[in-house]
Structure 1
Amino acid sequence: MRKTDGTAKAIAGQAGLFLLVAFLGAGALGALQPWTRIPGEVIELTQFGPALGVLTVALVWPARVRAVLAGAVRGCGGRSGALLLVTAPLVIAAAATAYGLATGDAHVTAPGALHHPFVLIVVAQLIGACGEEIGWRCFLQPLLRTRWGLVPASAAVGLVWGVWHVQVFALAPAYAAGFLLSTVSMSVVLGVALERVRGSRLLLAGGFHALVNLGMLLLMDEESGAVLPMVLFGAACLAAAVVWVWAGVRRAPARIESILEHVR
């Protein structure tokens, strides 16, 4: 019992420190962005808050962080990884189609109409997404997974991920609800997909995240604060999560047991 209690306290301490730095770091980086003159359309510096959180935890528990991050970069994503990357454009397509049918006016922004070169935006979006995902899906998700079931752990990360975007709560309640539905649902998709792969988790999670961001930039109107596109996007994400969970949640791979041993 004592060993179990000690493991739970260690995980709580690691997760707590990570979240503290991720939230505060994102706020500090957001305040710094205007001074850097880096356009928010290209990349949001707040995205690196989770990376700062992982770095801080690594300074205190280096061996444990190495164990949790095992497989984040090296290895192959395999079939599940490929299906994950396909899911992102399908979700955007479903939401954009529903939005077009509901309003009679499809919202499409041509890449050339953006204020900055599209190639630059694509690269920057992938870098920024990886800055987030090294914290959410490569650290916090497998850390919580050592104590909780796959879907509860994924949903918890998605909820925290949504609350981390604190600015959405200044908008309409329905918008915030749609946004939280999308983050929880996407987190479940990512959790189930990454449970089945042994490597490249950072690139896969970052790729999925970046594809969603780019799709919303080009095909959705949620940045204006409009409720309908965000609610439809949340519904599309929920549908994707249901499909992934229905397809079957497999047993935790040996990697989870390895993480448990190091966390203890």
Structure 2
Amino acid sequence: MSALTRSPYRPWAYSPWPFFLLTYLFSWTCFGIVLALRQPVSFTPPSPALLLSVLGDFGPFVAATLLTTLASGRQGLRALLVQLKPARLPLPVVLVSALSVPLLVTAANLLSLASGGAAPRHWLHANTGTLVLLFAFVLFGVAEQTGWRGYAQPRLNARYGPLVTSVVLGVLWATWHLPLFWVTGSGQYGQAFAPYVLEVVGWSFLMSWVWERGGGRVLPCVLLHFSINVTAVTLGTGADSAEWRSELWGVLMVALAWVFRRSPQASLAHRD
């Protein structure tokens, strides 16, 4: 299933690049205002910086729905949004979407511990604010993946195949977060950018796999996005586990690249 429908009078509708331009323009405007305010992102109480950063998270959704409506009208918009509709998914897709990231982070912690590294201060941590975050994480998954996977993925796949698509989307997805590295209280604040890019590209490879195996639907990508965010706020990480995590993501990407190379046309089957 794909929202990529033909419109012979609008050739730009088949290119992902107007989407990337509009997404960055919308989101970086919001993130830039947050930087100018010099306020931390705060949930208690909600700060103007929080509201603007959340609005910026909707950049991919705004760009995808706007461009789809301009190109294909209500019918195209319906085809885009129906990818979010709950549907029966293959069990491996559900399991990979929900469990792959927490299992990888846990494996990195255990390998670090086995090699003499420090254990996490807390293996699991949560508080009353976590429940609020769970709702926000669903919202963020819809806001981002409707654009990255619902709009950009089929267009990039049609041109370059799943392997190149995974790398390009991963790098652009990571770089899209760049202004937030300077925003106190954001999920990216204080992180090193290069390891972050590697990890996000790893997420992108997984996103491509669950998107294709899920029949070109965005729903499993939203579930995977949710799992990534939940893992970040509930699973502890040891001080020495980052290197192991990077190595495990590298192994996973090589394995998925081999899968994509063996069946480069698999994901293209979702074109209309």
The TM-score, its normalising length taken from structure 1, stands at 0.74
Over 3 Å counting, the alpha-carbon distance change for 1:95 and 1:212 in structure 2 is farther
1:120-199, aligned counterparts within 5 Å? 120-167=132-179, 175-198=192-215
Asked whether the equivalents of residues 95 and 236 of structure 1 are also in contact (C-alpha less than 8 Å), the reply is yes
Give me the whole-angstrom Cα distance separating, in 2, the residues matched to 1:141 and 1:129.
15
Please list the CA deviations of residues 81-131 of structure 1 after superposition, one character each: whole Å capped at 9, or x if unmatched: 22322212212212333455564131427544x4x4322211211211221
Is 2:109 the counterpart of 1:96? yes
Alignment-derived partner of residue 47 in structure 1: 57
Question: Structure 1: which 5+ residue stretches go unaligned?
Answer: 1-5, 259-264
Matched, 1:208 2:221: no
* Structure 2: distance between partners of 1:41 and 1:92: 27
Partner of 1:21: 22
How many angstroms does 1:180 deviate by? Answer: 0.9
SS at 1:213 equivalent: helix
Assess if the C-alpha contact under 8 Å between 2:61 and 2:143 holds in 1: yes
Q: CA deviation at 1:157?
A: 0.6
The 1-side partners of 2:51 and 2:255 are apart by: 32
Aligned-partner residue type, residue 83 of structure 1? L
The aligned counterpart of 1:11 is 14
5+ long unaligned stretches in structure 2: 1-8, 35-39, 183-187
Which is helix-richer, 1 or 2?
1
Q: Secondary structure at the match of 2:58?
A: helix
Distance in structure 1 (CA, Å) of the matches to 2:51 and 2:242:
21
CA RMSD of superposed structures (Å): 3.8
Deviations 1:159-215 (A, max 9, x none): 10011011377699x92111111111211111022112226x333112211211221
Residue 211 and residue 102 in structure 1: after superposition, are their counterparts in 2 closer, same or farther (change >3 A)? Answer: farther
Whole-angstrom distance in 1 between the partners of 2:123 and 2:110: 15
1:217 aligned residue: 233
Question: Per-residue displacement from partner, 1:223-261 (whole Å, max 9, x unpaired)?
Answer: xxx8x6555433333333334444565443575231xxx
- % identity of equivalent residues: 19
What is residue 73 of structure 1 aligned with on the other side?
Answer: 85
Q: 1:109 to 1:87 in 2, by over 3 A?
A: closer
Q: Distance in 1 between matches of 2:196 and 2:85?
A: 29
User: In 2, distance between residues paired with 1:42 and 1:169?
Assistant: 17
Q: Which residue of 2 aligns with 1:62?
A: 72
Contact 2:158 2:268 in 1 (8 A): no
